[in-house]
Amino acid sequence: MPQAVFDFNDQVVVVTGGSRGVGAGIVAAFLGAGASVVTCGRHEAEVEGATFVTADVRQPEQARQVIGAAVEKFGRLDVLVNNAGGSPQVMAEAASPRFFESVVALNLLAPFYCAQAAREAMAGQDSGGSIVNVGSISGLRPSPGTAAYGAAKAGLINLTSTLAVEWAPSVRVNCVSAGLLQTDAGDEHYGGPEGSARVAATVPLGRMGGVEDVASACLFLASSAAAFVTGANLVVHGGGEWPAYLTALAAPGEA
């Protein structure tokens, strides 16, 4: 987990989908920086140090309940991190309308519902507030096998910039577009440790990202160090992916 470089003492933070994976890392980072944290998920869970609310943020009223629980318990809301998201691998031709709608609801509509409720709480505070949307490089390049996910994340980047303009100056809104990540789910997706190692070799920095890399970006964007940053999309991807044409041009045996 990242060091507590940023000071969030006396601040209240909501992180959606914080019981496991990247979300758990973000929760731990804000707790380590001194924040009071509320998180949520569809299934009841224990998240050490945080208040957990069982909710499906794809439902507008349940998204509002999560924000309301934070305000009711702590009297304010300073930061919202829209982390809940994801999608199984399904090729576009096989994706049913119901599947497509469900993925878009989780990755685009849910962040809007949570942000809209959070804005109401933040706008009435002298200090305003900060919203960080966790996106993906799938929203910036083709996303074969996860078309709905990529389209939703592209929409989230646009939503971020629009809300930043509409809700300034009281509420800052930014996005973190995460690249290839080394997680348990990622290992499974890439075919195990050997597959993950081959994929990591395509990243210029020589490794895939970790949950701490995404968490650190969220801490920065939510902090006073980013006081003049809003409407930004911070891409955390280790330099991207090695261009395919360079591999194709490599001499035999050197690819």
Tokens linked to 92: 């576009």
CA separation for the pair 236, 86 (Å, rounded): 17
Those residues with Cβ within 8 angstroms of residue 214's Cβ, 6 or more apart along the chain or in another chain: 22, 25, 26, 134, 176, 178, 181, 236
CA separation for the pair 197, 105 (Å, rounded): 32
What pLDDT is recorded for position 193?
A: 83
- Dihedral pair phi/psi, residue 20, rounded to 5°: -160, 170
What string of pLDDT tens digits covers the 255 residues of the chain?
Answer: 444 479 999 999 999 999 999 999 999 999 999 999 999 999 999 999 999 999 999 999 999 999 999 999 999 999 999 999 999 999 999 999 999 999 999 999 999 999 999 999 999 999 999 999 999 999 999 999 999 999 999 999 999 999 999 999 999 999 999 988 887 665 666 778 888 888 898 899 999 999 999 999 999 999 999 999 999 999 999 999 888 888 888 766 554
- Residue identified by tokens 């809300």 is 163
Contact, 233 vs 177, CB < 8 A?
A: yes
Measured from the Cβ of residue 248, the count of other Cβ atoms closer than 10 Å reads 8
Q: Count Cβ atoms within 10 A of the Cβ of residue 215 and give its class: 0-12 exposed, 13-18 middle, 19 or more buried.
A: buried
Tokens linked to 162: 């629009």
Of the candidates 113, 149, 190, 245, the residue annotated as catalytic is 149
Measuring CA to CA, which residue among 77, 72, 84 is closest to residue 36? 77
What pLDDT is recorded for position 116?
A: 98
| DSSP at 251 | P
Known catalytic membership, residue 245: no
- Residue identified by tokens 């591999």 is 247
What pLDDT is recorded for position 2?
A: 44
